[in-house]
Amino acid sequence: MGTVYVGVDIGGTKVMAAAVSASGQVGPIARRTTPGRRVEVTLVEDALTEAVFEAADGRPVAGVGIAAAGFVDALGERVMFAPHLPWRNDPTRSRLEARWQTRVVLDNDANCAARAEVALGAARGVADVLMVTMGTGIGGAVILGGTLLRGRNGMAGEFGHMQVVPDGHGCECGGTGCWEQYSSGNALVRYARSRMLHASYAGTTLLEELTGGDPAALTGPMVTAAAERGDHLALQAYEEIGEWLGVGLANLVAAFDPELLVIGGGVSAAGDLLLGPARTALEQSLVGAGHRVVPPVVRAHFGPEAGVVGAAALARSAG
């Protein structure tokens, strides 16, 4: 029985783990629910452990790569801060290595996703790329001249916590008006849920059927399913977060002038429902758009699994 390398992507709502081949072929996905940010760290790591060994399916694990939705230090040893998880200056790598008795490597989830897309996916052969991952919140990665930019503290690319609306919505990071509060899975659900409460939408949206008439039961996949069936409220929700995505991308393009913009994370599964409005807003918001090449906005080749692929590749290269 051969050994396997397992990639794990842990976000604000879920854990995904899979054995990944050297060519990027992803095995069956093991999923767990993330316990949240107001729990003991051990509960989060219990969920990780279950997912890793389910993905390994009894095979020896040669290494595990962790793609964490948080600020990972420059040495890849600690999660310094995670807005949606309980890690705070936490020696995550060494503790998991001791628990699993195998090599563990650690990086930010968007960095891992970018590695996968540049090596094997939508950004293959492109030197200057910005990766934006949209899930519970927003993550990001910067690749310039073929090199991943990690910054002095290892925390470059935290685009989701750029303030776009002063005194705007409160954010899990402790700030207000962060970009991810207007363009993310959480933002999608909040927008649709708030409109469901308006009397003018009563009896007019599939979301009522999908939630049994209870807006509190609404989830992101429900909004996506309704939008794919042409539901006007669900489409409006995607239009809203797509426009905010394009506005944020325009700011990033002005700062970095990349050749390509790659959108990953769970929300990217909606494809052009999200990316269509984003492309339009990017062109409308980007300074000098008529006098420059506006970079294409494409969905990650590996979709929501990009972090898993990149994390496993990082573990393989470290082994």
pLDDT at site 84: 80
Which percentage of the chain shows pLDDT scores above 90?
A: 82
pLDDT in tens, 187-215: 999 999 999 988 678 788 999 999 999 99
Nearest alpha carbon to residue 114 among 288, 301, 297: 301
Nearest alpha carbon to residue 242 among 275, 206, 203: 275
pLDDT in tens, 44-81: 899 999 999 999 999 999 999 999 988 999 999 999 99
DSSP-derived secondary structure for 110-145: HHHHHHHHHHHSTTTT-SSEEEEEESSSEEEEEEET
Which percentage of the chain shows pLDDT scores above 70?
A: 98
Is 39 a residue whose pLDDT tops 80? no
Beta bridge partners of 14: 33
pLDDT at site 12: 79
Q: What is the distance between the alpha carbons of residues 283 and 235, in angstroms, rounded to a whole number?
A: 20
- Burial class of 128 by CB neighbour count within 10 A (0 to 12, 13 to 18, 19+): middle
pLDDT band at 40 (very low <50, low <70, confident <90, very high): confident
pLDDT in tens, 113-144: 999 999 999 999 999 999 999 988 999 999 99
pLDDT at site 2: 80
Note the pTM of the prediction, 2 decimals.
0.88
Q: Say which residue the tokens 């452990």 belong to.
A: 49
**Strand boundaries in 178-318, DSSP class E:** 260-264, 297-299
DSSP-derived secondary structure for 77-110: --EEE-TTSS-EEE-HHHHHHHHHTSEEEEEEHH
**Domains of the chain, CATH where assigned:** 4-115+305-318 (3.30.420.40), 124-300 (3.30.420.40)
Is 1 a residue whose pLDDT tops 70? no
pLDDT at site 87: 86
